[in-house]
Amino acid sequence: MKNPILVFIDAGVDNYQLLFDGVVGEAQPFVLNTATNGIQQIDEILRQYPGQNTVHIISHGAPGCLYLGNTQLSLGTLKQYAPLLGQWDIDNLLLYGCHVASGDAGEEFVSKLQGLTGANIAASKSLTGAAVKGGNWELELRTSKCETSLALSEAAMVTYSGVLEVLNADDYAALKALYEGTDGESWSNNTGWSEWDFSSSTPPDASVVNDWYGVAVVGDRVTRLNLHNNRLTGEIPEQLSSLSNLQNLDLRNNQLTGEIPEQLSSLSNLQSLWLNNNQLTGEIPEQLGSLSNLQSLWLYSNQLTGEIPEQLSSLSNLEQLFLYSNQLTGEIPEQLSSLSNLEQLFLYSNQLTGEIPEQLSSLSNLQSLRLNNNQLTGEIPEQLSSLSNLEQLYLSTNRLTGEIPEQLSSLSNLQYLYLHSNRLTGEIPEQLGSLSNLQYLYLHSNRLTGEIPEQLGSLSNLQQLYLYSNRLTGEIPEQLSSLSNLESLWLYSNQLTGEIPQSVNDLSADKRLDNPPYVATDIPDQTTTTDTVFNLDISSNFGDINQDISTYSAQGLPDGLSINTTTGVISGTPTAAGNYTITVNVSDGKFTPAQDTFDIEVEQVGEVNQPPTDITLSNDTIDENVPANTEVGTLSTTDPNTDDTFTYALVSGNGDTDNAAFTIDDDQLKINTSPDYETQDTYTIRVQTTDAAGETYEEELTISVNNLKEGSPPIGVVISNDSIDENVPANTEVGILATFDRDVTDTFTYALVSGNGDTDNADFTIDGNVLTINISPDFETQDTYNIRVQTTDTEGETSENPLIININNVNELPIDINLDNDSIDENVAANTVVGTLSTTDPDTDDTFTYRLVSGAGDTDNAAFTIDDDELKINISPDFETQDTYNIRVQTTDAQGEIYEKEH
């Protein structure tokens, strides 16, 4: 009887049924169930066919590996299955798996398999399967006696469209981690992914994975992963770092969280890394600087913090660096100037500080530089003018100062110049008119002065010119009418004068030219009389380029004169002689009014002046104990000339006894000292009134002092707060001082004075009624302070008493970790105590917990355990194997403050 030919086909192979149907007639085909052990399945069937059999195995393969059912036959498992393999009674063994005999691993695998089975072996060293996918059905490696023909018909081999190659195991693990870690079942598009059972340890066909949404495969390796805008959630798995052939990683526009794995730095073939528009946090890993083939790095629109790693300057092939719309801080690394291929540098909308590095001028290929919406300071480096390929320069919304460098005019390719919303000063360089390609010029919201350069009219491609909210003066240049492509001309909120040229008005652009009114010529001083009709048109003294002055007003006009608020005409007949200073305000209802002042001298004519006839004091009593310079009352005069004006003075004569105790301020009588009823209950003074013509009248006046119930001295001083936290800055407010006093309306002054309890007076200051501490207190050094405070009322009565200020104990950070023993004998038992941990902390009574943590020096953390404050070694150490161990320990105090140290 002829020995049988047995053909085993793994059901995991793409379209295995076609292969099953294509087995040659004299062979017996069997299908291996992918859910169970394929090696055991083959063994069970071989037991049913004893004798020298020829066995064909059609399955997925890799160098030194066959995928059979739910297991693998490989260099790593040959020893495990050696007892079974040694019992196989087979003469020839043909292995069709892709690359199974390829390389050193493949040849070693075939050699050892032959030794275990005793069979002659033929195996594939290349891609097995359809020629259209680069495959063939040749078994290139044959031992000397294996001459058996293939088990498939020619028709089956021609018809079969797949290959017997699975995805690289590391790549499979990476895709599995991505799908499971980012809720792949909820992706917007998970075609292919959702059909695969990721519980399988056997990777899918590489050709199958190539049809998964967003994946490109070359050979058995993933080269592109494009899952943008696909509703991914969770964190980016670090396993993606094993996709060593990956060239493009696009996970943008998802809801990914967590930090960017530093392990991505091992993707040495990566050309584009797009993680923008997610919710990523943490710092940008400096390790990304090792991605030497990277051309595009998009991390924008996340929540990244920290500084821009200077190591990114090692990305010599980088063309795009997009880090905008994050929360990055620190300065722009000058080392970025070494990115010689960089074309676009977008760092805007962060919290970057410091000056713009002038070294960026060496980025000769740079086309777009966007640093706007940060907190940059200093001047605009004139060296940026050497960026000959620059098309976009966005430096707006920072804190830049100084003048606009005229050298920027050499940027002949510039299309966008955004310098607005800074603190720039000086004039607009006329040289900017040579930027022939410029389309957008935004210089608004600065502090620019001078006139608008007429040379800007040469910017034939300009579409938007924004110069508003500066301090520009002069007239609008007519040359701006040459800007035929202009869409927006915004010049409002400056100090422009003259008229708007009609040719500029005729521009179809959106024009916003509102400027405030201005003084065209000073209003001359005027002279008139009380019997003359006065008329003065001040409208011609003011101008407005928009000709929209709406309101005129005047303050200080003589009685009888008024201003027409619409026309600006001041008219009327003044009724009182004198010299008047008039302030005129002119408004357009939108901006700060223009203002000018002038004088009007009015001379009296007409009615004969008559002398005053009486003096009246509105109040002739005053309370005792009022402060000095208190107003007694208002003086007024009776005079036949009803519109007359008067001045008052204290004069010698009958009743002038107490003149020295009073002062007259305009028409107000004030007492110079604080009166005391018990000392003097009445005062007599003599007052003179003088009218505008110099006529006088004098009268004796008596002022009575009201007797008030006297107060008593203050009772004592209290403070609103008698405690303060330790470590607050010097000059911190402690509390507000107040006084107990029977006279509730009294006021008080406070001072630190010598006496009982004045020990710490020197450490405090009183400002008004506020007590401040001069130093930064430390609870551990001194927990209470004693001071003595005096309060004084308005009568000079005093009271003093000591106060105690308590210092609140504020938790402070641990500052060191100590291990009382840092050596241990070899061969001690596992779980032996190495030593006791202790913490140095300014808070002497604090308690601490300890644990091993990740970080610098954590190499051997796994070999140790911390029990309370005891460090124990988990294993029995051997000096010859390892003579030192490095661990990283963290101590945490009772308030949760931590400190870490390497031991």
Query: Could you tell me if residue 223 is inside a domain?
Result: no
- Going by C-alpha positions, the residue among 362, 447, 441, 359 that lies closest to residue 399 is 447
Residue 493 is classified by DSSP as S
**Which of 129, 148, 165 is at the close of a domain?**
165
Quick one: 791 and 860 in the same domain? no
Query: Could you tell me if residue 625 is inside a domain?
Result: no
Do the beta carbons of residue 553 and residue 510 sit within 8 Å?
no
Place of tokens 């066995």: 55
Q: Is 614 helix (H, G, I), strand (E, B) or coil?
A: strand
Is residue 669 packed enough to be buried (19+ CB in 10 Å), middle (13-18) or exposed (0-12)?
buried
Quick one: 454 and 565 in the same domain? no
Beta-carbon-side half-sphere exposure of residue 6 (alpha carbons within 13 Å) = 26
Tokens of 439: 């389309």
Report the C-alpha gap between 26 and 64 in whole angstroms.
Answer: 29
Report the C-alpha gap between 125 and 880 in whole angstroms.
Answer: 44
Query: Could you tell me if residue 257 is inside a domain?
Result: no
Report the C-alpha gap between 664 and 595 in whole angstroms.
Answer: 35
Report the C-alpha gap between 400 and 643 in whole angstroms.
Answer: 61
Q: What is the pLDDT of residue 1?
A: 41
Is residue 883 packed enough to be buried (19+ CB in 10 Å), middle (13-18) or exposed (0-12)?
exposed
Report the C-alpha gap between 33 and 162 in whole angstroms.
Answer: 19
Q: What is the pLDDT of residue 162?
A: 80
CA 684 vs. chain centroid, Å, equals 74
Quick one: 54 and 159 in the same domain? yes
Q: What is the pLDDT of residue 135?
A: 85
Quick one: 647 and 795 in the same domain? no
Query: Could you tell me if residue 145 is inside a domain?
Result: yes
Torsion of CA 20, 21, 26, 27, to 10 degrees: 0
Q: What are phi and psi of 527, to 5 degrees?
A: -130, 135
Query: Could you tell me if residue 414 is inside a domain?
Result: no
Q: Which amino acid is at 432?
A: L
Tokens of 176: 């599995």
Tokens of 533: 């009709």
Q: For position 562, which CATH number holds?
A: 2.60.40.10
Do the beta carbons of residue 98 and residue 165 sit within 8 Å?
yes
Tokens of 601: 């001298």
Quick one: 63 and 149 in the same domain? yes
Adjacent-strand bridge partners of 786? 804
- Going by C-alpha positions, the residue among 148, 73, 152, 149 that lies closest to residue 117 is 73
DSSP string, 419-469: --SS---SBPPGGGGG-TT--EEE--SS--BSBPPGGGGG-TT--EEE--S
Q: Count other Cβ atoms within 10 Å, centred on residue 24.
A: 16
Query: Could you tell me if residue 646 is inside a domain?
Result: yes
Quick one: 524 and 664 in the same domain? no
SS (H, E, C) 783-822: CEEEEEEEEEECCCCEEEEEEEEEEECCCCCCCEEEECCC
Q: For position 751, which CATH number holds?
A: 2.60.40.60
Own/partner pairs, 861-865, CB within 8 angstroms, 24+ separation: 861/887, 861/888, 863/887, 864/834, 865/831
Beta-carbon-side half-sphere exposure of residue 640 (alpha carbons within 13 Å) = 8
- Going by C-alpha positions, the residue among 746, 735, 721 that lies closest to residue 768 is 735
Place of tokens 């403070």: 719
SS (H, E, C) 405-423: CHHHHHCCCCCEEECCCCC
Do the beta carbons of residue 786 and residue 757 sit within 8 Å?
yes
Tokens of 692: 């505008």
**Which of 457, 486, 515 is at the close of a domain?**
515
Give pTM, 2 decimals: 0.61
Parent domain of 544: 518-603
Positive or negative: CA dihedral 454, 459, 465, 467: negative
Query: Could you tell me if residue 820 is inside a domain?
Result: yes
Q: What are phi and psi of 115, to 5 degrees?
A: -65, -35
**Which of 808, 842, 865 is at the close of a domain?**
808
CA distances to 577, 780, 814, 842 from 845, rounded to whole Å, are: 85, 10, 12, 9
Pairing, β 848-852 against β 888-893: antiparallel
Quick one: 540 and 583 in the same domain? yes
Report the C-alpha gap between 15 and 164 in whole angstroms.
Answer: 11
How many helices and strands in the chain, by DSSP H and E? 8, 57
Place of tokens 């004969």: 608
Report the C-alpha gap between 165 and 206 in whole angstroms.
Answer: 6
Do the beta carbons of residue 861 and residue 895 sit within 8 Å?
no
* Segment holding 207, helix H or strand E: helix 206-209
Q: How many domains does the chain have?
A: 6
- Going by C-alpha positions, the residue among 429, 434, 431, 435 that lies closest to residue 391 is 435
SS (H, E, C) 245-278: CCCEEECCCCEEECCCCHHHHHCCCCCEEECCCC
Q: Residue ranges of the chain with pLDDT lower than 50?
A: 1
Report the C-alpha gap between 317 and 847 in whole angstroms.
Answer: 53
Quick one: 505 and 525 in the same domain? no
Quick one: 119 and 71 in the same domain? yes
Report the C-alpha gap between 487 and 137 in whole angstroms.
Answer: 69
Report the C-alpha gap between 336 and 686 in whole angstroms.
Answer: 86
Quick one: 511 and 522 in the same domain? no
Quick one: 29 and 148 in the same domain? yes
- Going by C-alpha positions, the residue among 468, 675, 506 that lies closest to residue 591 is 468
Query: Could you tell me if residue 858 is inside a domain?
Result: yes
Q: Count other Cβ atoms within 10 Å, centred on residue 537.
A: 12
Q: What is the pLDDT of residue 742?
A: 60
Do the beta carbons of residue 612 and residue 696 sit within 8 Å?
yes
Report the C-alpha gap between 664 and 580 in whole angstroms.
Answer: 23
Compute the chain's Rg from CA coordinates: 48
* Segment holding 237, helix H or strand E: none
Q: For position 501, which CATH number holds?
A: 3.80.10.10
- Going by C-alpha positions, the residue among 102, 36, 8 that lies closest to residue 64 is 102
Quick one: 782 and 645 in the same domain? no
